[in-house]
Chains A and B, each alone.
Chain A
Amino acid sequence: MSGIGISRRGLLAGASAFGTTAALSACGAKTGSATSSSGAKADTSGDTVKVGLLNSLSGTMAISEVTVHNALLLAVKEINAAGGVLGKKLKPISQDGASDWPTFAEKAEALITDDKVVATFGCWTSASRKAVKPVFERYKSLLFYPVQYEGLEQSPYIFYIGATTNQQIVPALDYLKKQGLTRLYLVGSDYVFPRTANKIIKAYAEANGMTVVGEDYAPLGSTEFSTIVNKVKDAGADAVFNTLNGDSNVAFFKEYKSAGLSAKSLPVLSVSIAEEEVKSIGTQYLEGQLTAWNYYQTTPGAANTEFVKAYQAAYGADKPTSDPMEAAYISVYLWKEMVEKAGSFDVAKVKKASAGIELDAPEGKVTVDGTTQHVHKTARIGKIGADGLITEVWNSGKPIKPDPYLKDYDWASGLS
């Protein structure tokens, strides 16, 4: 483990030094020709084309993003083994965003201008996506983003392969309502995603006869939850809607259990805990609790069996697959389909060809929506089992049309 770590760091040191020079030269290019995107022309001349993989391989987000990076590499490897795209092999160029948003922007620019990649896959946090968005728009280059997010965004140069709110949060609320759990307590980390998500939840609750009995935010990384849990206990809630991120979940669920609360007495529905996180939080604290995603390792279907088998063969039999990993994996395949339909790597042609692209993905059938550049996805509610895997207890039956601005919901009209 540590041996691999050292060699990888060596590589990273090289990569980051390389990234800096690339960014510097890019700066020079920018001042030379302010609006021209000549530096951004993807290089498709050889018999290989480069694709950018932009993830945090170090820093606090590495836990999650390394798994996404692994899934991307797996997809590239499989596509190459099957002959590549338009007869050209893909050469993955990995850049480390290092959990630092300015670094993400810098590395994105290096990938586009220096490596001349044909497309980039990656990012996790909304903050990193917001940081790279202007870069991809300036150079008219494509980013495929694999994680569920808070919606209310649409960039012509980003394909959103994870769920938007109407494919995760709204179905989760529908599910709770159907179970008769109408008094909600909202607990979240204090940053953009939970605050936006809770704004949506409150608007939904008001229109659907549900009550939000309390709302609390803890600073990111906070580990002191005794008061919040006391408040939850006293508020007379039927369920907790949890948008906590990362480590805070560990402290929260430990406190939850020692306060005598459980999935039976007061269920918690989480939107940021997937298989990887379940393992590190500890199943004894999470057993029976609910999650909302579009994919679980246990999702039935031949495509998923194959995906899980391939992933575990490549990275270890005990490694779980998760929703963001699956979205990352299919994002490469979706791009491949778009390119082949367009018959070209040209960004404008690929975008035009994207509408209606379909894939039998591990999560089930997905279809690209050409206007919003999001994906039709099936919503799934799961229950965490004692083995750390999540079993589906409900799904939407068919893929849900993406609606990032929640235009189809009257109650959401005041949101922006």
Chain B
Amino acid sequence: MTVILNQSFTGISIGAVLLLIALGLTLTFGQMGVINMAHGEFIMAGAYTTYVLQKDISGAGISLLVALPLAFLVAGGLGALLEWLLIRRLYTRPLDTLLVTWGVSLMLQQLARDIFGAPNVQTHAPDLLTGNISVGGITFANNRLFILGLALLCVLGLTLILRLTPLGRRIRAVVQNRDLAEVSGIATGRVDRMTFFIGSGLAGVAGVALTLVGPIGPTMGTNYIVDAFLVVVVGGIAQLKGSVITAFALGVLQSVLEYSTTVSVAKVIVLVAIVAFLQWRPQGLYTLRTRSLA
């Protein structure tokens, strides 16, 4: 029983990491149709922000708290810049966005290598986050609980922005029918840039969270980018709800399979399951009905 409960928590915590890295993609890929291969490098930018801050601020706890909003701004800023420089010219050509952002991703990796060096670096987690809480034989790792909380907070924040703010209304309008939104007086260009800013910023937040589990390196984003796309595609593009459910479902599936088989076998089974699922429901778990003619 404790094994099952322990593994369930592990699955949920893997899901939380997946959700956090996929959340930004739900916006930029799901809502805007941009296949942004540089999303992983925005995660890396967030992680390196944490690293730089920690070198300058001695307290690990304080630097982590400062890193969260700052990483959001740094990664979001990079995202907005990328949108302004390149992506806005390619909105009708999704495959070209893939190639262009892939190139950008390689350049950002090399840039990171030049600035921070090829070897991976580390941050120190605050003492509070290195231990665990044990309840009735189940171990809750503190860093995992923190990431879970962070992921849920980001989902909540994003939902509130999309539902309640004028910006959110404009984003939804542009997604549903770009032309109609434009003739209604919405500056679609600016909305696009803000959407990209928020989506990329969330990748930065994910980067901060990942410093608590693993190493920080120029290629760390590539480890996660495929998983992030899988979550968004399986969840149904443009659906926050779909991403949340998929992330946790994949996390639990992965951890259950890993426990009963091996890591590599579990990965294969998960991928096969995803392919089978997409055969059955190519549109993903949820779909958005739009009035767009395209």
Contacts and interface: CB of A to CB of B under 8 A. Distances in A.
Interface stretch (B149-157, B187-195, B212-220): B212-220
Give the size range of A's interface with the partner: 35 or more
B120 A217 contact: no
Contacts of A281: 122
Interface stretch (B89-97, B110-118, B164-172, B276-284): B110-118
B143 A282 contact: no
A227 B214 contact: no
Contact of A5 (B10, B13, B114, B143): B114
Contacts of A6: 114
A231 B122 contact: no
Interface stretch (B25-33, B130-138, B176-184, B238-246): B130-138
A32 interface: no
Interface of B: 3, 6-7, 10, 13-14, 17, 114-115, 117-122, 124-125, 129-132, 134, 139, 141-144, 210, 212-215, 217, 219-220, 223, 254-255, 258-259, 262-264, 267
| Interface SS of A by simple majority | helix
A257 B130 contact: yes
Interface string A143-157: 000000000000000
Given A62-B118, A221-B223, A258-B131, 12 more contacts: A223-B214, A224-B14, A231-B259, A234-B6, A251-B214, A254-B125, A254-B212, A255-B213, A257-B130, A259-B141, A260-B132, A280-B120
A284 B129 CA distance: 13
Contacts of B117: 1, 5
Interface of A: 1-2, 5-6, 58, 60, 62-63, 190, 216-219, 221-224, 226-228, 230-231, 233-234, 247, 250-251, 254-255, 257-260, 280-282, 284
A140 B114 CA distance: 39
Going nearest first, the 7 A-B pairs with the smallest beta carbon separation are A223-B214, A251-B214, A258-B141, A227-B258, A250-B215, A63-B119, A226-B10
B263 A227 contact: yes
B165 to A, nearest CB: 35
A216 B219 CA distance: 24
B255 A250 contact: no
A219 B264 contact: yes
A369 B6 CA distance: 52
A184 B117 CA distance: 37
Contacts of B143: 254, 258
A70 to B, nearest CB: 14
A284 B255 contact: no
A227 B259 contact: yes
A295 B14 CA distance: 39
B263 A222 contact: yes
19 contacts: A63-B119, A222-B223, A222-B263, A224-B14, A226-B144, A227-B10, A230-B7, A230-B10, A233-B139, A234-B3, A234-B6, A250-B215, A254-B214, A258-B130, A258-B132, A260-B131, A260-B132, A260-B139, A284-B124
